[in-house]
Amino acid sequence: DADVTQTPRNRITKTGKRIMLECSQTKGHDRMYWYRQDPGLGLRLIYYSFDVKDINKGEISDGYSVSRQAQAKFSLSLESAIPNQTALYFCATSVTTGSQSTEQFFGPGTRLTVL
């Protein structure tokens, strides 16, 4: 079984709809992240969480919200989807070791299309 799973894998929705993307991990990592990838670009950070009580905005958080329901679960919500949120969304995890930034591991991605 995959260590980092994302649901759904593909989603088509309409402008104005509320959408939730879910991420679960079995790696036992405390840090979780949501990234977005647009065609021809690298990934950009939306939100990140270093533990269950810690939520931080990334580079492009406007229009998104997150919830860390448990150490193993991190959800991303689009309250009112718009077409320019059409993208490939990735969840990632890593483990805390002091001040060192450790290796991040990515889920398979969710392809979201907003019509």
Partner 1 sequence: GIQVEQSPPDLILQEGANSTLRCNFSDSVNNLQWFHQNPWGQLINLFYIPSGTKQNGRLSATTVATERYSLLYISSSQTTDSGVYFCAVAGNRGSTLGRLYFGRGTQLTVWP
Closer by beta carbon to partner 1, 15 or else 101: 101
Distance from C-alpha of 80 to C-alpha of 101, rounded to nearest angstrom: 33
Task: State in angstroms the smallest separation of the CB of 63 from partner 1.
Answer: 19
Q: Identify residues 47-106 at the interface with partner 1 (CB under 8 A).
A: 48, 50, 58-59, 88, 90, 92, 94, 99-106
Q: Answer for the pair 76, 60: CB distance below 8 angstroms, yes or no.
A: no
Closer by beta carbon to partner 1, 22 or else 38: 38
Angle made by CA atoms 108, 39, 62, in degrees to the nearest 5: 80
